[in-house]
């Protein structure tokens, strides 16, 4: 991936914005790479957030004045990976970003990071997002494939119990 920072716009609910002090709120978009590092494998192995593969789920809007528009400079790799995970889950990037903030606020990462990433690279080597459209049966399937598949097999239980 190129080392270019792109200017992007995210919408977050004002109530989310107000939960952070001013200094931390301005740094929210800069947390995207860390949130992806922490929750990327978890999201690639979990069930879809959007239930209907035919539609993209957007965050419920409490009204124009209730959404905060923030501009951020994000690397191409982080923005593309966020978009790939969002498409695979059938949600918008903004929805997924808010979902990641919510997971982090609940400290879900504290319980899964060691389980998902212990002894293995944080990210899979390759991600493929597949949108399969069956026009004859009027069906749509979204699928995210990762290599190596779902989990890394790097720990050997024999290492835990010496002879």
| Sign of the dihedral defined by the CA atoms of residues 18, 19, 24, 30, in that order | negative
Strands (E), 20-138: 67-75, 126-134
Confidence tier at 122 by pLDDT (50, 70, 90): low
Q: Note the pTM of the prediction, 2 decimals.
A: 0.73
The mean pLDDT value of the chain amounts to 77
pLDDT, tens only, 42-98:
888 788 888 877 788 888 766 666 888 888 888 888 898 899 889 889 899 999 999
State the Cα–Cα distance between residues 145 and 124, nearest whole angstrom. Answer: 10
Check residue 64 and give its pLDDT. Answer: 62
Q: What average pLDDT does this structure show over 100-110?
A: 86
- Give the whole-number percent of the chain exceeding pLDDT 90: 13
In the chain, where are the structural domains located?
5-159
């Amino acid at each position: 991936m190129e080392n270019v920072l792109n200017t992007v716009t995210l919408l977050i609910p004002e109530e989310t914005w107000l939960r952070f002090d001013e200094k931390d709120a301005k740094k929210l978009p800069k947390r995207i790479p860390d949130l992806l590092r922490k929750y990327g494998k978890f999201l690639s192995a979990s069930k879809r957030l959007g239930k209907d593969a035919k539609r993209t789920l957007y965050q419920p809007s409490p009204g124009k004045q209730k959404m905060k528009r923030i501009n951020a400079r994000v690397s191409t790799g982080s923005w593309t990976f966020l978009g790939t995970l969002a498409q695979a889950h059938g949600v918008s990037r903004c929805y997924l970003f808010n979902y990641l903030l919510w997971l982090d606020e609940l400290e879900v990462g504290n319980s899964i990071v060691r389980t998902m990433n212990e002894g293995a690279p944080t990210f899979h080597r390759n991600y493929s997002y597949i949108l399969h459209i069956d026009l004859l049966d009027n069906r749509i399937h979204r699928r995210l494939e990762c290599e190596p598949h779902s989990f890394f097999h790097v720990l050997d239980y024999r290492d835990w119990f010496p002879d």
